[in-house]
Amino acid sequence: GRGGGERGVAGPALEKMPFPATTPGSQQTPLPPKFYGISSPISLAAPKETDCVLTQKLIETLKPFGVLEEEEELQRRILILEKLNNLVKEWIREISESKSLPPAVIENVGGKIFTFGSYRLGVHTKGADIDALCVAPRHVDRSDFFTSFYAKLKLHEEVKDLRAVEEAFVPVIRLCFDGIEIDILFARLALQTIPEDLDLRDDSLLKNLDIRCIRSLNGCRVTDEILHLVPNIDNFRLTLRAIKLWAKCHNIYSNILGFLGGVSWAMLVARTCQLYPNAVASTLVRKFFLVFSEWEWPNPVLLKEPEEQNLNLPVWDPRVNPSDRYHLMPIITPAYPQQNSTYNVSVSTRMVMIEEFKQGLAITHEILLSKAEWSKLFEAPSFFQKYKHYIVLLASAPTEKQRLEWVGLVESKIRILVGSLEKNEFITLAHVNPQSFPAPKENPDKEEFCTMWVIGLVLKKPENSEVLSIDLTYDIQSFTDTVYRQAINSKMFEMDMKIDAMHLRRKELHQLLPNHVLQKNKTHSENSVSVPSPASTVKTGPVTGSSQGRNSPALAVMAASATSVQVTEVTLQQGNPGESPGGASESVPQTASQAAVSPPPKPTITRLVSSTLLVNHAPRPAGAAATNIANPIVGV
């Protein structure tokens, strides 16, 4: 295949060894002059003995995290996919017979399961799900996939939890096959038969296809291109495993919340491999942080020159599409039609990620100098020690099934809230933690299933003002309106589905979060580099109940309840006795100085939005009788 000819250049032993890069010696012959990517490499240096030792240490560090799958588990997945592949072939033969195709065609009709995502890239973790694509010939319709194939799966003894999501943007059948979660997409190609050696990267396959089939093919085409665009697949895989684990530990792995998802991290690692084609994983991890802490966003990350195929499909191109000019951190998929995989990234999420890249660079530099071990890279910074102000979002529903649907919808809209918080002149940054938590029930006697998310805030201090009053009612109200409106329009809304939001200070989080969550890695928070914030960032200390004897400015966060116009003021003191002056650090709590301060009285939780008012939105009738629901966020 394209770019595949160079795969064997580093010696035949490469193909057989799971992590070839760690063995010094003959197989590190430099690559031929052919280079990968849209620019020449930064360095062609071959690895030194120390790099190979550090790579071996990296592998040892990764093992306990469960990111390296055992051979037995891998064989089990291969067996499951074989069974699924046989089911597909059998089903397509049955369909072909029912549609009276000639026997000669039926004999060779084919049909195939392709995989994509982390499994296809070879970087899946223990127990991870598999993304699969069912490719069928032209006489098999999408409706057949969701009826007869679904029915065939239902009869299979190893298939559990079968559900079809036919109306999704990318329609999918989800199931659990012998304990492994699998998502299966469907694509019908304009071919009479599906050959075993079909290469989905062939752009001509897209001609005259239904848009849903093009979208379904995209995952496979992108994954296959990435694998063909890196100089050494094994080095790429090990580096990507390390970077994905690091991103998850540091709470920046989530496409839906505006960080990066799996395919985006894979493309950043692939670009690093292109720039350092002979480097082993220990070097590549360090260079990854170097390249992307210095990257001049919004310049796009490209793995190859985009090609135009004249199939009139929308592609990412800021010269043509004005909306593409506003993307903050473009990482462009290498297969036609090229898309930006990071359109959800916001000012805040980019700021958080760049700060993490810089911190990763500092840690890998220490590792290189033997001042730290690899484990330091995977220590989770304590999100709940990092900020002084938090917004807690609660989503609740009366049954577990409804909670799953409701939580999915609310989570997909949280970035809208983050976007409007960022626009608030007094908020420098809003960092949503991708991890959600079970929330305590409001009413212990009532059956209720509740999930919560926590957003850390960095606040600015206005000039010449002693009190900072921030009214977040509007931001939160417009967010909840958007969620309720969408739930009603998609006929998903049920009574007693609720969203609540509240403002809490760091010291009040214990009211909602269990201690083991708050304490997790608290000891490491002293090392955590804080979010970059301008010198004007508010420094608020512990709450002492009154402001006597202090001339430092106080900060009031106002929250108007949606049901009444009464305003609640929460006044916070500024200036911890033990804190150093200057506003650069918004992170670590000074535990020593806090002990000297009397404990705060149990604070009342300030609700920013009451859900009662919002539940009463009637479904909107059409035409002139339409209910007038305020829509403060334009163009959501």
Helix (H) / strand (E) containing 105: helix 103-107
CB 4 within 8 A of CB 228: yes
SS (H, E, C) 468-493: EEEECHHHHHHHHHHHHHHHHHCCCC
Strand order in the sheet with 467-471: 467-471, 554-560, 567-572
Number of neighbouring beta carbons within 10 Å of residue 257: 24
| Annotated active-site residue in 89, 129, 150, 547 | 129
Q: Is 262 annotated as a binding residue?
A: yes
CA distances from 128 to 118, 131, 562 (A): 9, 10, 42
Which residue's entry shows tokens 């390296």?
A: 68
Among 225, 133, 222, CA closest to 186: 133
Which residue's entry shows tokens 């990071």?
A: 342
Q: Is 499 annotated as a binding residue?
A: no
Which residue's entry shows tokens 């190859």?
A: 304
Q: Could you give the CA distance from residue 49 to residue 210 in angstroms, rounded to a whole number?
A: 53
| Annotated active-site residue in 51, 144, 183, 224 | 183
Q: What is the DSSP letter of 208?
A: T
The tokens of 328 are what?
Answer: 């903050």
Q: Is 263 annotated as a binding residue?
A: yes
Q: Is 324 annotated as a binding residue?
A: no
The tokens of 331 are what?
Answer: 């990482």
Q: Is 129 annotated as a binding residue?
A: yes
Q: Is 416 annotated as a binding residue?
A: no
Q: Could you give the CA distance from residue 170 to residue 69 in angstroms, rounded to a whole number?
A: 29
Give the 3-state secondary structure of residue 177. Answer: strand
Answer whether the bond into residue 619 is a cis peptide, omega within 30°.
no
DSSP string covering 37-104, please? Answer: SSS--S--PPPPHHHHHHHHHHHHHHGGGT-S--HHHHHHHHHHHHHHHHHHHHHHHHHHHHTT--HH
Q: Is 118 annotated as a binding residue?
A: yes
| Annotated active-site residue in 96, 118, 382, 611 | 118
| Annotated active-site residue in 112, 244, 460, 461 | 244
Answer whether the bond into residue 298 is a cis peptide, omega within 30°.
yes
Return left, alpha or beta for 153; rule: phi > 0 is left, psi -120 to 50 is alpha, else beta: alpha
Catalytic-residue membership of 131: yes
Degrees, nearest 5: CA angle 274-277-278: 165
Catalytic-residue membership of 118: yes
CB 54 within 8 A of CB 26: no
Catalytic-residue membership of 244: yes
Q: Could you give the CA distance from residue 283 to residue 277 in angstroms, rounded to a whole number?
A: 11
Q: Is 496 annotated as a binding residue?
A: no
Helix (DSSP H) and strand (DSSP E) numbers for the chain:
18, 14
The tokens of 230 are what?
Answer: 């890196």
Q: Is 130 annotated as a binding residue?
A: yes
Q: Is 183 annotated as a binding residue?
A: yes
- Strand partners of residue 554: 467
CB 499 within 8 A of CB 393: yes
| Annotated active-site residue in 36, 51, 234, 253 | 253
CA distances from 268 to 30, 289, 302 (A): 23, 10, 9
Q: Could you give the CA distance from residue 263 to residue 261 in angstroms, rounded to a whole number?
A: 6
Helix (H) / strand (E) containing 243: helix 233-249
Number of neighbouring beta carbons within 10 Å of residue 558: 18
Instruction: List the binding residues.
Output: 116-118, 125, 129-131, 183, 244, 253, 262-263
Active site residues: 118, 129, 131, 183, 244, 253
Instruction: List the binding residues for Mg(2+).
Output: 129, 131, 183
